Amino acid sequence: MADDEVLNPFANVTVGIRGLAVYCYNPDFDGGGARRGRWEIAIPRFTGSDAEHELLMNIPGLGIVRVDREVKKIEIRDRVGVPTTPTYQGARFNRKDKATSDLKDYRWLAEFTNNAEIPHGSVIMKRRSEFPDRVRVTMLYIQDAILYTKKVEDFPLLLATHAQTCPVQNGVPRPLPKPQAGMALDSIHDIYGFSSTKVGIDIQSPNGGVVDLILDNGIMTSFPQVNGRIHTIEISNLEPDTASDPEARVSTNQAVYGRGDFFRYYELFVVANRDHFHLWEKFPLDIAGPEPSIEGDCNGVRGSFANLDDLKEPDS
């Protein structure tokens, strides 16, 4: 599926999201009238030279907006709303097999709360007061929308513990010697599978409908329904293109492994087991062209929660 392909051809607005984010559907949210449910997306923000991510929004009519860390809430909602199924699920899904699975399936998003996928035990959200000062959260709320995958990893991911490959202390990775980490990664023969690198969320309006985009810093714009046209909003929470971390690459005589930012989700959650995990992307040795600039798992995750209230900033 192409990055710009839209699942719902009748959508008024389509949103593409890349980078670190936690996705949760709240079915009990009351949007007024017949409108129920919304997507709640927690976008973690970090400080420190080793942790910088930029939250950028490319908004029709406004261009590229760099969202300040002080922004607590962003809303995208239709003024009336069209009831929709909140997720797209294909007929077949196997995280380890792209060839026989539907590439639009929302389940490509790694499920952080699924112990069969990530065996770190039960997951509890930290309250905002428990976050270290370096961590903030911007909440993105989207109503009347269906969520699906727009792009899946090109190469498979491996699940490896912090202790085996790269311990993390106070949110900072402390890489082991590369030969030691490489030996541990080469010994993993059962892949975790593939994950979504770009999520799509389509919002359909009734005839003559309007979708509003509202940031709590005063930025607001609206998208009226236009026949034959879909407004596209692009959102990313990634490290800048200029960022480079050679310590996040491990090369062996079998593969090149790239460690991304999956470990940062442990800043938002408490897990029951001692083991914490990295997801490493496994690149073939003969990969053509330059190595990808973004490591393998700087992707969103989903969680089976009623809502994400505990993660939001006060008064958001």
Span 227-280, pLDDT tens digits: 878 999 999 999 876 666 778 899 999 999 999 899 999 999 999 999 999 999
- Residues belonging to the chain: 316
**What does the pLDDT read at residue 242?**
63
> Which pLDDT score, from 0 to 100, does residue 294 have?
46
Please provide the average confidence, as pLDDT, over all residues in the chain: 91
Domain boundaries, given as residue ranges, for the chain? 13-304
pLDDT above 50 (res 25): yes
Tokens 């309007």 found at: 210
Please give the residue that has the higher pLDDT: either 128 or 168: 168
pLDDT at residue 1, as a whole number: 53
Residue 32 phi, psi dihedral angles, 5° rounding: 95, 145
Rounded Cα–Cα distance for residues 94 and 196 (Å): 13
- Exposed, middle or buried, 201 (CB in 10 Å: 0-12/13-18/19+)? buried
According to DSSP, the β-strands at 231-238 and 13-19 are parallel
- Whose tokens are 């005063």? That residue is 218
